[in-house]
């Protein structure tokens, strides 16, 4: 996509998105698929080549599936489908093995009833490329690169932004109903709003390199891996292949205040971590700092923040990009509903109410993972020969297998984070599931992600959900129970699809004969027969149109009522 230099002096759109990374592109995709006129602006004209995020997790891949992009994401990965998604710990790349964590982030191909798509190892810039290409095809969606935000004002009816082209100096005014800042950790929009980030700044400085070194192919002889943790006293580091050729990423921490090593120093660090000089060609150098920060608010009138613009955490656990993609999904369907008139202001209020607790939980997890880095795994004698070395390596391996799977087996966080207690969910008298990290037990408790199944015809249950709300019938005769919801949706103009797969496993999984699924795949309500008045109250609450209704009195006996 090239920079737009022939833009008119003033534009009108429904949503202005500032920031062209994966978060902004996810939001644009969600809006574009719902027919919302959207303008995305990005100050950079060159797209980053640093890998940054390297795993698109199972939940993000489920969104890609819903957008029709899952196969394109997998095809864009530089590694083949059968490449092992393992994490290998060793003293050096050409050193002594310590431990291996298999199937990191659930990236191994194959069907699992817990999710509809396995994770995919793929550099962030490849994900962005797929999303950019797709967004450019969506009617009413415009992508403009090279435009930087200068000012933003708002009134009761909308926002007015002033932008300037970085190369030509051309200025552009944009009038929109809403604006979203997805412009990263140094968000210009956040600064214009006067919103502050609160928490812990800069635990340590880190350096990431992308290198080309044909000699690194020999490392595959010791076992293929998407990531190698290199545990040694000279340069504890993390490295991994970018493709099956000669391109690798390499990263290591620096003490705060320490200068960035020169090229000779970087080469010495790599030689120490690898265990030999591989004569690398340094392609890119990127420095970053780990933070634990949350914005003090996510909304100011008609302007919202998403992704790194409102939350930052250490990049340990594969959460960052994926967390932001889910921000884009959550905010996208809510803005679309509000703009099309079937969603109320309560939907927009619920964005921070729902996402902030999830962000807080993920930050805590990432900080816990950051507490044990490669340097913390060092033991005397780790590279020694004989019994002393064997004991040291066994002790380090045991420590790794005790603590580090938490970082790479995160399904309980990725799929188990929920919106229980949200003002747009209807409680059913049950308690939300206990928080888990690695383990994930599906639950249809209101606010949870709808439990998944692979159906007998080979399709995913999620494929039956519509772009709006879905009334999911889990038990025989449920169509009649869903009729009041259908009538209420028609009266309110709320899009509602009916799904009744007829699979006997659904009733015990959902613990109710009927469930109302939100556009983002979370459960808004579950229960049994409801009256027309109750159905309308349920839908009005789920669409943010009214205060929470009193749940139907029959809810405690949901299972018994079916039999």
pLDDT tens digit string along 21-77?
999 999 999 999 999 999 999 999 877 777 778 999 999 999 999 999 999 999 999
The secondary structure element, H or E, covering residue 22 is: helix 22-32
How far is residue 124 from each of residues 40, 52, 485, measured CA to CA in Å?
18, 6, 41
Neighbours of 175 (CB within 10 A): 14
How far is residue 224 from each of residues 52, 79, 108, 218, measured CA to CA in Å?
20, 11, 13, 10
Rounded to 5°, angle at Cα 296 from 51 and 183: 35
Distance CA 188, CA 34 (A): 27
Backbone angles phi, psi at 440, to 5 degrees: -135, 120
The string of DSSP codes covering 229-258 is EE--SS--EEEEESSSSSEEEEEEEE-TTP
* Chain centroid to CA 229: 24
Residue 553: per-residue pLDDT:
41
Per-residue exposure over 231-245, b if at least 16 CB sit within 10 Å of its own CB, e if not: bbeebbbbbbbbeee
Distance CA 365, CA 406 (A): 9
Distance CA 97, CA 275 (A): 13
Distance CA 345, CA 190 (A): 22
Indicate the SS3 state at residue 86: coil
Go through the domains of the chain in sequence order and give each one's CATH number: 10-78+122-198+295-356 (3.50.50.60), 80-117+204-289+379-417 (3.30.9.10), 419-561 (3.40.30.120)
Indicate the SS3 state at residue 168: coil
For residue 461, the 8-state DSSP code is: G
The secondary structure element, H or E, covering residue 191 is: helix 188-193
Residue given tokens 């690398």 in the structure block: 280
Strands lying side by side in the sheet with 514-517: 496-499, 469-473, 514-517, 523-527
Indicate the SS3 state at residue 283: strand
Burial of 72 (0-12, 13-18, 19+ CB in 10 A): middle
Distance CA 269, CA 258 (A): 15
Cβ–Cβ under 8 Å, residues 475 and 503: no
Which tokens belong to 120?
A: 């995919």
Those residues of the chain that have pLDDT short of 50 are 1-7, 549, 553-563
Residue 139: per-residue pLDDT:
93
Which tokens belong to 440?
A: 């994930």
SS (H, E, C) 387-402: HHHHHHHHHHHHHHHH
Burial of 493 (0-12, 13-18, 19+ CB in 10 A): exposed
Rounded to 5°, angle at Cα 359 from 106 and 33: 75
Residue 4: per-residue pLDDT:
39
Cβ–Cβ under 8 Å, residues 100 and 229: no
Distance CA 518, CA 350 (A): 13
DSSP 3-state percent helix, strand, coil across the chain (nearest 5): 35, 25, 45
Cβ–Cβ under 8 Å, residues 230 and 238: yes
Residue 373: per-residue pLDDT:
83
Residue 2: per-residue pLDDT:
35
Residue 1: per-residue pLDDT:
36
pTM of the model: 0.93
Residue 9: per-residue pLDDT:
66
| Alpha helix segments (H runs only) across 287-432 | 320-339, 345-370, 386-403, 405-408, 411-414
CA neighbor of 182 nearest in space, from 76, 289, 367, 31: 31
Backbone angles phi, psi at 557, to 5 degrees: -110, 35
How many CA atoms, within 13 angstroms, populate the side-chain half-sphere of residue 219? 35
Residue 53: per-residue pLDDT:
87
Residue given tokens 């995020």 in the structure block: 53
């Amino acid at each position: 996509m090239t920079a737009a230099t022939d833009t008119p002096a003033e534009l009108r759109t429904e949503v202005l998105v500032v920031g062209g990374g994966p978060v902004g592109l996810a939001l644009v995709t969600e809006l574009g698929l719902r027919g919302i006129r959207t303008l995305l602006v990005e100050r950079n004209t060159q797209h980053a080549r640093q890998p940054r995020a390297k795993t698109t997790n199972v939940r993000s891949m489920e969104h890609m599936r819903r957008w029709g992009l899952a196969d394109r994401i997998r095809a864009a990965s530089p590694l083949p489908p059968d490449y092992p998604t393992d994490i290998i710990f060793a003293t050096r790349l050409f050193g002594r093995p310590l431990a291996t964590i298999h199937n990191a982030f659930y990236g191994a191909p194959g069907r699992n009833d817990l999710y509809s798509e396995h994770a995919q190892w793929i550099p962030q810039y490849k994900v962005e490329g797929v999303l950019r290409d797709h967004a450019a095809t969506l009617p009413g969606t415009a992508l403009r690169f090279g435009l930087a935000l200068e000012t933003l004002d708002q009134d009761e009816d909308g926002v007015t932004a002033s932008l300037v082209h970085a190369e030509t100096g051309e200025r552009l005014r944009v009038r929109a109903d809403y604006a979203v800042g997805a412009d990263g950790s140094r968000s210009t929009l956040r600064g214009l709003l006067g919103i502050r980030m609160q928490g812990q700044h800069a635990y340590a400085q880190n350096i990431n390199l992308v290198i080309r070194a044909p000699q690194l192919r020999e490392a595959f002889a010791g076992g293929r891996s998407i990531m190698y943790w290199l545990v040694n006293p000279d340069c504890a580091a993390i490295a991994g292949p970018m493709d099956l050729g000669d391109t690798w990423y390499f990263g290591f921490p620096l003490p705060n205040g320490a200068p960035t090593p020169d090229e000779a120093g970087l080469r010495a660090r790599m030689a120490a971590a690898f265990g030999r000089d591989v004569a690398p060609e340094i392609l890119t150098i990127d420095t970053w700092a780990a933070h634990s920060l949350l914005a003090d608010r996510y909304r100011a009138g008609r302007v919202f923040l998403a992704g790194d613009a409102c939350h930052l955490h250490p990049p340990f656990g594969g959460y960052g990009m994926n967390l932001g993609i889910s921000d884009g999904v959550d905010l996208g369907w809510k803005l679309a509903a509000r703009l099309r008139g079937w969603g109320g202001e309560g939907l927009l209020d619920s964005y921070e109410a729902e996402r902030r607790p999830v962000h807080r939980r993920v930050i805590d997890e990432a900080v816990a993972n950051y507490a044990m880095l490669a340097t913390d795994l060092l033991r005397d004698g780790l590279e020694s020969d004989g019994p002393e070395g064997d004991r040291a390596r066994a002790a380090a391996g045991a420590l790794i297998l005790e603590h580090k799977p938490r970082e790479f087996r995160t399904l309980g966080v990725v799929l188990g984070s929920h919106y229980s207690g949200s003002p747009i969910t209807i409680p059913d008298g049950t308690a939300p599931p206990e928080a888990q990290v690695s383990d994930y037990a599906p639950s249809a408790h209101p606010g949870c992600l709808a439990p998944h199944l692979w159906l007998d015809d080979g399709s995913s249950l999620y494929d039956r959900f519509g772009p709006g709300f879905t009334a999911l019938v889990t038990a025989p005769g449920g169509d009649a129970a869903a009729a009041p919801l259908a009538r209420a949706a028609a009266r309110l103009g709320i899009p509602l699809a009916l799904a009744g797969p007829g699979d006997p496993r659904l009733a015990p999984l959902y613990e109710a004969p009927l469930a109302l699924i939100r556009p983002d795949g979370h459960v808004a309500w579950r229960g049994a027969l409801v009256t027309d008045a109750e159905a309308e109250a349920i839908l009005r609450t789920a669409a943010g149109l009214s205060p929470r209704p009193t749940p139907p009195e029959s809810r405690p006996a949901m299972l018994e009522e079916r039999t």
